[in-house]
Amino acid sequence: MFKIKRLPIYFTLLAILFAASCKDSEKENKEVEAETDYAANELPVNTDSEEALEAFEEGVEYMDNGNSRKARAKFEEALQHDPDFVSAQMYRSFTANSAKDWATNRDKFMEMRDKANEAEVMMIDITEAGMKSDLDRELEISKKMVEKYPKSARAMDNLAIYYDNNEQEEKAREHWKKALELNPEYVPAMASLGTSYLFDSPEDKGQAKKYFDMLVKKAPNSPRSHILMGDYYRDQDQLDQALASYEKAASLDSENEAALAKSGHANSILGNYEEARQNFKDAREVSEFGTNLSAEANTYVYEGKSGEALKFLDEGTKSLDTLDVPESNRNIGKFQAAITAAHIAMHDGDAKRLEQIINNLKPISKKLTSDANSPTVTANQNAFMNYWDTMLLVTKKNYKEAMNKAETIKKAVDSLNNPDKLNPYHRALAIIHYNMGNTEKAVEHIDQTDEDYIHDKYWKAKIYEKAGNTEEAMALYEEIAEERFNSIEFALIRDEVNQKLDKNKAS
């Protein structure tokens, strides 16, 4: 589960990025604040156009409630009324729908420095620092923004996002709570706190429910409120209630792709595969581009039909070229489908198929990286492709070559300061050592991966089991078996994990 932070969500597939929330404008325009009950809590924006301001405020409300598609349209409307409206351009970049769209609008925003107010200049600097992976600079500016605008919940939220992106979850939660103290109606902090407590260690399900209840009460007509409450119910294995929440979200917005897809995820876990597939088809039908194939492919994997899943992905990927959508958006769909297919081929030990998938993936990855035009994306994506080259060698059982190739994962992200940049490197080495029988080294590396990522948790359990740490391994398998969120990683391992637990109970 990915939280919607400051960036378009698809960038988590390309890389975990940091991109962006002055001197006074040379324009003789007035500095205004968004008109809410907590006006002092908003960062200042500059425009003389009442029409632009009205569209902007509507866009911010849509964005705060998780609807990037409608928010994007409103920010574009604001820019039509006032092309020099810096904050509208900034939020237009935050709600981008592709790598190319993000780069184009990000660059437009960064070129507006001479027209920006002080808060906007800070956000330009944060964006630039993020693109360079300069975490010290990003933190410095984020703190300065809080100092400059001490009553702004949004400034506090921005600092919380920095901590969240950099694996400092307790600090992130502390600052989201401060944002709510500044503005008890600030829904992004409610959503972020609930999501953090639900998915990120240390988890606290009671706290998650508390903030989701708060969110539903504050924004009962927002589909996202009910989607997140549905996520809570799904985590608690209350799948019928989860479905009801997702259906409520869809009833509030019939074009909400996420609500329909979430119903598909719940039906997948329930074993209602035909219903799930229809949910995913419905989600694609109402979505902006209709390119997401991966979740539907998972339904075949749950049924034990990995060949059917690969066939579906192959045919679906070919069909994307017939869609009248921008190339960058088609490439995102192809990228997602290829990664799902790669996981299936690797799990099945099909080296020939995996090699074909990786060869097809490389030009797509290269094009998306070029579209994003960011050093951070380039470094992360190079490491990502090096990881899959390493996994191909593992699948071919060329472990010594794989060991050498794994070093290129590490080298690719040398220039980055992201605290979890080496997770793929340590995962790769853990898998290699496991297959070579070097359990001590495998344990050393797997202990340095992401404890919240189910794929890493699975390999940790396998490695601990092989090392003779049966009790710890079974505890991890139990956690995996309780998973209620749909992913290709979980679909591939669910039956194996359940069999291991049944066997352990019987012994």
Superfamily of domain 374-507: Tetratricopeptide repeat domain (1.25.40.10)
Helix (H, G, I), strand (E, B) or coil at 31: strand
**Do 374-507 and 1-162 fall under one CATH topology?**
yes
pTM for the full model?
0.90
Residue 38: band (very low, low, confident or very high) from pLDDT cuts 50, 70, 90: low
In this predicted model, what pLDDT tens digit does every residue of 187-229 receive, in sequence order? 999 999 999 999 999 999 999 999 999 999 999 999 999 999 9
Q: Does the pLDDT at position 408 exceed 90?
A: yes
Q: What is the DSSP letter of 45?
A: E
Give the H/E segment covering residue 46. strand 45-46
With residues binned 3-state (H G I as helix, E B as strand, rest as coil), the percentages for the chain, rounded to 5, are 70, 0, 25
Check whether 5 has a pLDDT greater than 60: no
Question: What's the whole-number average pLDDT of the chain?
Answer: 92
Contacts of 405 (CB under 8 A, 6+ apart): 386, 389, 390, 393
Residue 384 has pLDDT above 60, yes or no: yes
Look at residue 361 and tell me whether its pLDDT is greater than 60.
yes
Query: How do the domains of the chain map onto residue ranges?
Result: 1-162, 289-370, 374-507
Residue range 1-162 in CATH 2.60.40: no
Answer for the pair 380, 413: CB distance below 8 angstroms, yes or no.
Answer: yes
pLDDT at 270: 95
Residue 37 has pLDDT above 60, yes or no: no
Could you tell me how many helices (H) and strands (E) the chain has, helices first? Answer: 26, 2
- DSSP secondary structure string for all residues of 84-110: T-HHHHHHHHHT-SSHHHHHHHHHHHH
Give the residue among 468, 406, 421, 474 at the shortest CA–CA distance from 440. Answer: 468
Report, as an integer, the average pLDDT of 416-427: 95
Percent of the chain clearing pLDDT 90 (strictly above): 91
Structure confidence at residue 40 (pLDDT): 54
* pLDDT per position as a tens digit, 255-273: 999 999 999 999 999 999 9
Q: Is the pLDDT of residue 299 over 80?
A: yes
| pLDDT computed for residue 1 by the predictor | 32
Q: CA-to-CA distance for 290 and 293, rounded, in angstroms? A: 8
Residue 97 tokens, joined: 């729908």
pLDDT value at 25 more than 80: no
Q: With cut-offs at 50, 70 and 90, classify the pLDDT of residue 42.
A: confident
